[in-house]
């Protein structure tokens, strides 16, 4: 990843809201997504401050189909980023023309950033895996393959929902530990999972693996992802084939793809803990060890129905970091394709729940509440062991580094409503 003039922290935009140092979308970011007005067709947009720039209206693309942009060569993407940076910086000759292509973000509908072709969910958060494993297997929290294989399962793409909406509490089979038989009921242990989503740009042909050295060239960028989970359903159904109805009812995705080009200043070395096995050769390289990590700070916020009624602000439940993931995004792509599996433009890879080693760094409520045994006490007097109807869960993320402008990911938010009766 190249650091160039588009990352210059002194750059300012003629879109004044982009110059707020606390904002997620300065001119150094320029994430891509889709928006529409009045129910019309989806258009490609770039977030800049509190605005969205329509790329076709600005004369930067010929079509509002985002797939060709995702699949474009890295050089083409860098050239587009350079043109956007040049045209949006203060003093640009394009200001007058491009102002007509701007829309307030608050006045448009934001959707999924692209059409999601397929969805694979990984399990790279070793602290989450250990904490949850300890609840079910105190003597062996991590299974023997965890430190050798990037664990994953193929998830459901049809139930991926755009940020800002709501979904119904799912019903499925549940069997309590003392019950003689299972019953069909709404989940009582609804949980969130704090993840990043990896958006695939250019795919690979069936039967042709992607090498670790080539893996990042196949990634367009990253989003926020909430892989909602029904823990009581999961406990009953997951053996022997893994997650099914506990996971496929809703996954929330943020609207903006932060590109790898924007994230270049925030690369960090990737190191395994001392004593852990070295990855197999196809999952190891000097480049991955030198800069395979991206320093992304993450947060989970909760707004209950009572808070909303009283006009109270959401409260933060936890914070964590992508630095603590056990596998890098390049390793996920290389492993996914090593058997010849073909990834396609618009495929989504979830990182798995990103928790840290400390109690306040949990990326799920099952960790925060110790499996529901220690409910979380909220400042307004409410408590939560799991997510209740009316709760809104909000994820945030940002990158910070001295000498560079802070960039953010926006929000990934969704509200839970009551299950269908019956």
Find tokens 């080693």 and name the residue: 357
Q: What is the DSSP string of 31-90?
A: -EEEEESTT---EEEEEETTEEEETTTTTS-S-S-SHHHHHS-HHHHHHHHHHHHHHHBT
The Cα 197–Cα 281 span in angstroms is 25
* 422 contact partners, CB below 8 Å, separation of at least 6: none
Q: 152-155 and 194-200 as β-strands: parallel, antiparallel, unpaired?
A: unpaired
Neighbours of 63 (CB within 10 A): 11
Active centre residues (catalytic): 128
Site of tokens 């408590």: 383
Question: Is residue 314 within a helix (H) or strand (E), and if so which, with residue range?
Answer: none
- Compute how many other C-beta atoms are within 10 angstroms of the C-beta atom of residue 171: 18
Sequence-ordered list of residues with C-beta below 8 angstroms from that of 182, at least 6 positions apart, any chain? 173, 174, 175, 236
* CB neighbours of residue 392 within 10 Å: 19
90 beta partners: none
Q: β-pairing, 258-259 with 183-186? A: unpaired
Pick the closest to residue 384 from 405, 396, 369, 404 (CA basis): 369
**DSSP letters spanning 167-208:** EEPPEEEE--TT-SS-EEEE-S-EE--EEEEEEE-S---TT-
| SS3 (DSSP) at 216 | helix
């Amino acid at each position: 990843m190249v650091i160039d003039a588009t990352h210059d922290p002194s750059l300012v935009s003629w879109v004044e809201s982009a110059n707020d140092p606390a904002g997620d979308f300065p001119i150094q970011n320029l994430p891509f997504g889709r928006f529409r007005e009045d129910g019309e067709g989806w258009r490609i947009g770039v977030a800049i401050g509190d605005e969205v720039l329509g790329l076709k209206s600005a004369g930067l693309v010929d079509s509002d189909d985002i797939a060709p942009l995702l699949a474009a060569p890295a050089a083409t993407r860098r050239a587009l980023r350079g043109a956007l940076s040049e045209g949006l910086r203060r003093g640009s000759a394009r200001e007058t023309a491009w102002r007509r292509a701007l829309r307030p973000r608050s006045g448009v509908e934001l959707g999924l950033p692209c059409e999601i072709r397929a969805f694979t969910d990984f399990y790279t958060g070793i602290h989450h895996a250990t904490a949850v494993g300890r609840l079910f297997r105190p003597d062996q929290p991590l299974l023997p393959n965890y430190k050798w294989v990037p664990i994953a399962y193929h998830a459901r793409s049809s139930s991926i929902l755009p940020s800002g909406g709501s979904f119904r509490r799912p019903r499925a089979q549940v069997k309590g530990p003392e019950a003689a038989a299972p019953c069909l009921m709404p989940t009582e242990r609804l949980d969130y999972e704090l993840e990043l989503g990896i958006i695939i740009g250019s795919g690979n042909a069936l039967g042709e693996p992607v090498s670790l050295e080539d893996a990042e060239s196949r990634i367009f960028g990253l989003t926020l992802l909430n892989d909602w989970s029904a823990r009581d359903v999961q406990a009953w159904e997951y053996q022997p084939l893994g997650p099914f109805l506990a996971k496929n009812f809703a996954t929330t995705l943020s609207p903006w793809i932060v590109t790898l080009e924007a994230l270049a200043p925030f690369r960090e070395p990737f190191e395994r803990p001392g004593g852990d096995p070295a990855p197999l050769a196809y999952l190891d390289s000097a480049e991955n060890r030198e800069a395979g990590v991206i320093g992304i700070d993450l947060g989970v916020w909760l707004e209950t129905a009572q808070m909303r009624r009283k006009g109270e602000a959401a409260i933060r439940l936890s914070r964590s970091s992508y630095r603590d993931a056990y596998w890098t995004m390049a390793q996920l792509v290389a492993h996914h394709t090593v058997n010849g599996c073909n990834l396609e433009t618009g495929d989504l890879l979830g990182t798995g729940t990103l928790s840290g080693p400390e109690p306040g760094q949990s990326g799920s409520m099952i960790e925060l509440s110790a499996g529901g045994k220690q409910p979380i006490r909220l400042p307004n007097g409410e408590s939560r062991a799991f997510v209740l109807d009316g709760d809104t869960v909000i994820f945030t993320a940002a990158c910070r580094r001295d000498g560079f402008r802070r960039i953010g990911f926006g929000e990934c938010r969704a509200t839970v409503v009551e299950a269908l009766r019956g």
